[in-house]
């Protein structure tokens, strides 16, 4: 695939700084990417799967933290091509590869010590009006559908004792995602690592769809003065030992 117009983006979070090229039509690393990276533990030599890898930014964080091998998967063809070019530019292409396809579909038979589960989790209607998900690869009607499908498919790819890092937010049906995580991993195997509040941009906060999803209880936002805040949480889900 030909490269689209790009701009340089400098990641100054964990394992940074490093620069990548972001192409038009590819997800721009967000405050969620950064908080997830802040909670991420990668032990040297571990293998990692990064589901919903976008530009590849969290795959590169994992590699720079010492992962032996990193597999990113993406449904956005433009993102896969962009991430692969970034891996080559960073000199990481021998350890990091990106595959096109949904969730774990392109990874049949592949297992890992760590899954980074930063797949889209914003309700489709909010994603469409915010422009946060170029190409429209968002999280489903309530923002829980894609993350829940990811959790359900993750277990066979996670080695015994392996860890899955999961962001959840009050801007999705967070309860549905956490119920699925508890059912799949078990109550005692889910640990909250981080929690942050972020303001919603005015355009999003004022949108009728956000009001409707709040009224129906799908999203749960906090009013502070004239601003609406959403809460991000990062979780570590641990697979049982062998
Ligand atoms: C919130 S973005 C995170 C991207 C990247 N991890 C980052 O931090 O910048 C979620 C990504 O998941 C991708 N995605 C959505 N549905 C997917 C699916 N079913 N399988 C794989 N990737 C998916 C989107 O295209 C998007 O790039």
The residue whose two tokens read 């590869």 is 97
Helix (H, G, I), strand (E, B) or coil at 200: coil
Average pLDDT over residues 1-8: 74
pLDDT more than 90, % of the chain:
93
Average pLDDT over residues 134-148: 94
Band of pLDDT at residue 2, cut at 50, 70 and 90 = low
Distance 226 CA to ligand 1 centre (A): 31
pLDDT tens per residue across span 222-232: 999 989 999 99
Distance 50 CA to ligand 1 centre (A): 9
Band of pLDDT at residue 1, cut at 50, 70 and 90 = low
Q: Evaluate if residue 239 carries a pLDDT over 70.
A: yes
Distance 208 CA to ligand 1 centre (A): 25
CA–CA distance, 158 with 73 (Å, rounded to integer) = 15
CA 40-43-46 angle, 5° bins: 105
pLDDT for position 5: 73
Band of pLDDT at residue 6, cut at 50, 70 and 90 = confident
**Cβ-count burial of 224 within 10 angstroms (0-12 exposed, 13-18 middle, 19+ buried)?**
exposed
Q: Evaluate if residue 3 carries a pLDDT over 80.
A: no
Residue 73: CB atoms within 10 Å = 24
The rounded mean pLDDT for the chain is: 95
Ligand 1 binding pocket includes 138 (Cβ within 6 Å): no
Backbone angles phi, psi at 142, to 5 degrees: -110, 0
Q: Which of 138, 126, 121 is nearest to 204 (CA)?
A: 126
Ligand 1 binding pocket includes 118 (Cβ within 6 Å): yes
CA–CA distance, 115 with 29 (Å, rounded to integer) = 18
Average pLDDT over residues 44-56: 98
Band of pLDDT at residue 133, cut at 50, 70 and 90 = confident
| Ligand 1 atom 6: residue of nearest CA | 53
Structural domain boundaries of the chain?
6-238
**Cβ-count burial of 31 within 10 angstroms (0-12 exposed, 13-18 middle, 19+ buried)?**
exposed
Distance 54 CA to ligand 1 centre (A): 5
**Of 26, 54, 72, 117, which is best to mutate to test ligand 1, by the most ligand atoms within 8 angstroms of its C-beta?**
54
Structure tokens at 29: 């690393």
| Ligand 1 atom 23: residue of nearest CA | 52
Contact indicator for 54, 83 with CB cutoff of 8 Å? yes
CA–CA distance, 121 with 141 (Å, rounded to integer) = 10
Topology of domain 6-238, CATH: Rossmann fold (3.40.50)
- DSSP annotation of 125 reads H
pLDDT tens per residue across span 77-120: 999 999 999 999 999 999 999 999 999 999 999 999 999 999 99
pTM score of the predicted model: 0.96
Q: Any residues with CB less than 8 A from the CB of 205 and at least 6 apart, and which?
A: 199, 221, 227, 228
The residue whose two tokens read 């894609």 is 146
Q: Which of 67, 57, 54 is nearest to 20 (CA)?
A: 57
């Amino acid at each position: 695939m030909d490269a689209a117009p790009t701009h340089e983006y400098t990641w100054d979070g964990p394992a940074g700084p490093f620069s990548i090229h972001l192409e038009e039509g590819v997800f721009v690393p967000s405050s969620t990417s950064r908080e997830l990276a802040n909670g991420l533990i990668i032990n040297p030599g571990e293998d990692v799967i990064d589901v919903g890898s976008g530009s590849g930014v969290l795959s590169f964080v994992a590699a720079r933290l010492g992962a032996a091998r990193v597999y990113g998967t993406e449904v956005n063809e433009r993102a896969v091509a962009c991430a692969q070019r970034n891996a080559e530019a960073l000199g990481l292409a021998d350890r990091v590869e990106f595959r096109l396809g949904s969730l774990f579909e392109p990874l049949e038979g592949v297992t890992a010590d760590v899954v980074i589960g930063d797949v889209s989790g914003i309700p489709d209607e909010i994603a469409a009006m915010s422009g946060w998900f170029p190409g429209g690869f968002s999280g489903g009607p309530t923002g829980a559908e894609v993350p829940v499908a990811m959790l359900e498919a993750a277990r066979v790819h996670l080695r015994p004792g392996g860890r899955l890092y999961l962001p959840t937010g009050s801007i999705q049906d967070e309860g549905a995602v956490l119920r699925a995580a508890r059912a799949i991993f078990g109550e005692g195997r889910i640990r909250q690592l981080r929690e942050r509040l972020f303001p919603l941009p005015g355009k999003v906060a004022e949108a009728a769809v956000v009001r409707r999803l709040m009224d129906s209880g799908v999203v749960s936002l906090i009013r502070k003065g004239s601003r609406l805040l959403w809460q991000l949480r990062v979780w570590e889900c641990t697979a049982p030992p062998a």
